[in-house]
Structure 1
Amino acid sequence: MRLLKLQVFDYSHFVSLPLAIHPELVSKLVGFQNSILGSSDACIDENPDGNSDGDNSEDSAQEQQLGNISVELEVADDEESVKVDVSVRPLDSNAPKENEEPKSSNKSDLKIGKSVFIKPQTFHLTVLMLKLWNQKRVDLAAQVLKSTSSRVLDALDNRPVFVRLKGLDLMRGSLAKAQVIYAPAEEIDSENRLLHACKIMIDAFVEAGLVIDKDAKSELKLHATVMNARHRKRGKKGRFSSFNARAIFEHFGSEEWGEYLIREAHLSQRFKYDENGYYHCCASIPFPENISS
């Protein structure tokens, strides 16, 4: 039997809390992107495979250099042999060339291309990244998420939960060499109900054996990625280039994105989209929307 290390597979799915369901937030993101680019053209249709999974951007160089590949995986315990198509298409085909400057209006020092921005219709909070390499694991993951529904509702005390998005922050690096920029998310009340609910979902996936070790040990940091250098043109050594974010933070570092209701949790599939432009939903559980009497 030929065994392959799990690390060669890109993340295929993730548990998300959709934010793109709020049209006013999507509009703010489009305005943010256009303000930086100095363009009247909405970024909404650019970078179709862009994702906002910023906590996934520090993956190994091996994963970063994946292209369109199919890997034959031999699976024990009477599971069938499956082909895994890791479709990581180039995300920067429309990005400016190294020596090409995008339109920049009064912010000519930004020099940021559209490929760095996430697609507004996919805006979300990431709860957990998953590597599901066959349909059996996808089906199991869907069952696991659904099985947490009652416990999640209990953790939320059957009351709506809102998050506030304010300002910008860096996932790593420095302002001069930024890789991931995100909007920090905080629960409106101080009860940490949302974090508790997310912990219930994460623990369920870990117990089902669907989470790789490094992700099982990671501390949950609720955030919504707005820019990711992973989508930008790679350098000569195949590395993702960083970008200068000092002017971005000067202009938008205290941006008020607003307060938004979290309506559900999804098992989302990367690189596949539903009609509304959001990641394909493999399963979902509802969050409370009305205050129970």
Structure 2
Amino acid sequence: MLALFRVERALNFTIPYHISKSATYFQKCYSCGGMNNKYKMIGGSSNKTSAEKKKHKSIASVWKPVSTQSCSADNRHAGAEVGSKLAEPQIGPAILSDKEEDNAFKGSVSSTDKHSISLEVGSSLFRFIKGKGGYVQSNIEEEMGVKIIFPSSRKEESIIIEGTSPDSVTRASERIQLIIDETVKSSALDYSHFISLPLAINPQLVDKLINFQNSILGLHDNTSNEDTSEEENGDKRLGESTLTLKAQEDSGNVKVDVTKIPLVSYPPKSSSTSTSGSKPKTSTLSELGIDKSIFIKPKTFHLTVLMLKLWNKERVDAAVKIFEGIEGEIMDALNGQPVSIKLKGLDCMRGSLAKARVLYAPVEVIGGEDRLLQACKVITEAFTKGGLVLEKDAKQTLKLHATVMNARHRKRTKTTKKYDSFDARGVMEKYGSEEWGEYLIREVHLSQRFVFDEDGYYHRCASILLPQNVQVD
């Protein structure tokens, strides 16, 4: 009986694998919102020699992915027009090959029924697909009967879904797409790129920002010395009337003549605030919620036009193509003429100065506000049409401002965790009318956050030079 079973099992592998579905079924394509989907079909082969069959007791033909490499940017965007929506990903044709596997049979399901799909989702989204402790991944795998394979390197952006049928891998990919959609719309996934108007290219402005930060961070030492002078004088007076404690030789106790202890009076601490509403000068920077980390780095000083979430290379490539394609429209909006801005004073973005989150320098466009805002509108509309702007961001009204302090940038520690704001009253009292100067807007960048070039500014994915000389008709 055992010999008969082996013969029957061997005969099963000599039968060629037949695809029950048509070729067009496996070559269908659908949109996954930025995921590049490519079916990689693998079938069995009956061209085995008798020697190979003797060498291996069990040989199974299984479905395995041939490649996890995403298609090139050129192929993805071939034929796409500027301003058009992100090109829909294509599912490639079925490719047949063989693979040996020890466990050829698992239950009543034949291993020859395996299928796989490659999804380009972006490494920044891997953790959301895995979930805490791998819970989300395990739930999808058990419910859909699939296996989700992540790449070993964060430089790779594709995952592989393996299942027993095209339907199982399709349903799993749709579930993953829902996770991505929810993640992208939430604050869990931070913005990765933005359109910026660099101001840090002006050395004199960078110097002013450095002096501004040093002045505030050094303010504590100066005011502390002034405000605690009376306390320090009291300490000195106490020090002048020192007590000598003498112990008797035959006793371990210390006797003190309390009549010899000088009486010292201390001036009361002032708890009133100034007429401007500022905190008492005795407050330390820590008490005000001010530390170096909440200041904008001078070499990254800029104006923000539009925030973007570009979570994989495909979306970055699409953004670059859109950006470079609207250079002419930007120039037309500016009438081919340079535009300058003036920065003066400080203002609070939301809330009160006592609990400020963002402090910024207001922007005044000199002789061309309509032109600059129109150029910014061209950029926003192009990226929105290309499907790269979140709906809530597309509806926002642009307010150009130069942020100098932001509580969100705070370096979190055990002592600063409770601070989601800072007291800006003292800063406003000193710098509320600061003249920062006038500056020419020289360039517009597609910038990448958290990555910096050699000059200290955000990494430049693409840039457009703006007019710098007045054109004479």
Q: Distance in 2 between matches of 1:32 and 1:240?
A: 22
Task: Kindly indicate whether the alpha-carbon contact (under 8 Å) linking 1:230 and 1:240 is maintained by their aligned counterparts in 2.
Answer: no
3-state SS in 2 of match to 1:176: helix
Q: Paired residues, what number?
A: 230
Q: Distance in 1 between matches of 2:194 and 2:447?
A: 5
Following superposition of structure 1 onto structure 2, how do residues 73-84 of structure 1 map, counting pairs within 5 Å? none
- Give the Cα separation in 1 of the matches to 2:419 and 2:320: 33
User: 2:222 aligns to what?
Assistant: 105
Deviations 1:235-263 (A, max 9, x none): 98966521110010000011110010001
Q: CA deviation at 1:24?
A: 0.1
Q: Distance in 1 between matches of 2:413 and 2:390?
A: 29
Structure 2 unaligned runs (5+)? 1-172, 224-280
Aligned to 1:172: 350
In the alignment, is the contact (CA less than 8 A) between 1:233 and 1:240 conserved in 2? no
Identify if the C-alpha distance between structure 1 residues 221 and 110 changes in structure 2 by more than 3 Å, giving closer, same or farther.
farther
In the aligned structure 2, how far is the partner of 1:199 from the partner of 1:234? 36
Paired position in structure 1 for 2:457: 278
What code does the residue aligned with 2:450 have?
F
Aligned partners of 2:221 and 2:451: how far apart in 1?
31
Higher helix share: 2
In the alignment, which residue of structure 2 is the partner of 1:269?
Answer: 448
- The reply to whether residue 29 of structure 1 matches residue 146 of structure 2 is no
2:195·2:444 contact (CA, 8 Å) conserved in 1?
A: yes
Deviations 1:143-200 (A, max 9, x none): 1111111111111111110011111111112100010001111211155211110010
> Which residue matches 1:145?
323
Separation of aligned partners in 2, 1:110 and 1:250:
16
- The percent of aligned pairs where both chains have the same amino acid is 61
Contact 2:193 2:309 in 1 (8 A): yes
Paired with 1:20 and 1:26, the residues of 2 have a C-alpha distance of: 6
Q: Which amino acid aligns with 1:205?
A: F
1:254 corresponds to: 433
The within-5 A match list for 1:214-225 is: 214-225=392-403
C-alpha contact (below 8 Å) 1:36/1:104 kept by paired residues: no
1:212-251 correspondence to structure 2 within 5 Å: 212-234=390-412, 241-251=420-430
Cα 1:190–1:267 change in 2 (3 A) is: closer
Question: Which AA in structure 2 matches 1:18?
Answer: P
C-alpha RMSD of the superposition: 1.9
Separation (CA, whole Å) in 1 of partners of 2:282 and 2:217: 9
Describe the SS at the equivalent of 2:381: helix
Task: Give the residue type in structure 2 aligned to 1:250.
Answer: E
Q: CA shift at 1:109, angstroms? A: 4.1
Q: CA deviation at 1:277?
A: 0.2
Corresponding residue number in structure 1 for 2:31: none
Q: Does 1:292 align with 2:292?
A: no
Give the match for residue 88 of structure 1: none
- Counterparts in 2 of 1:191 and 1:232: CA distance versus 1, 3 Å: closer
Match of 1:157 in 2: 335
CA contact (8 A) 2:339 2:368 kept: no
Q: Provide the rounded CA distance (Å) in 1 between the counterparts of 2:349 and 2:328.
A: 33
- The alignment partner of 1:21 has SS state of coil
Which amino acid in the other structure matches residue 179 of structure 1? R
**CA 1:150–1:170: 2 relative to 1, 3 Å:** same
Q: 1:11 aligns with which of 188, 191, 198?
A: 191
1:195-252 deviation per Cα after TM superposition (whole angstroms, max 9, x unaligned): 1100100110000010001100111000110000012255989665211100100000
Gaps of 5+ in 1: 40-102
Pairwise CA distance, 1:283: 0.4
Q: Structure 1, residues 22-59: CA drift from partner, whole Å, max 9, x if none?
A: 000000000000110118xxxxxxxxxxxxxxxxxxxx
| Distance in 2 between residues matched to 1:12 and 1:256, nearest whole Å | 32
CA distance in 1, matches of 2:391, 2:456: 31
Larger radius of gyration: 2
Amino acid at match of 2:375: A
- Displacement of 1:104 after TM fit? 3.8
1:120 matched to 2:298? The reply is yes
CA contact (8 A) 1:110 1:244 kept: no
TM-score (norm. length: structure 2): 0.47
Q: 2:82 matched to which residue of 1?
A: none
Task: Tell me the distance in 2 between the aligned counterparts of 1:155 and 1:251.
Answer: 38
Q: TM-score, normalised by structure 1?
A: 0.75
Structure-1 separation of matches of 2:413 and 2:291: 15
Letter in 2 for 1:30: I
Higher strand share: 1
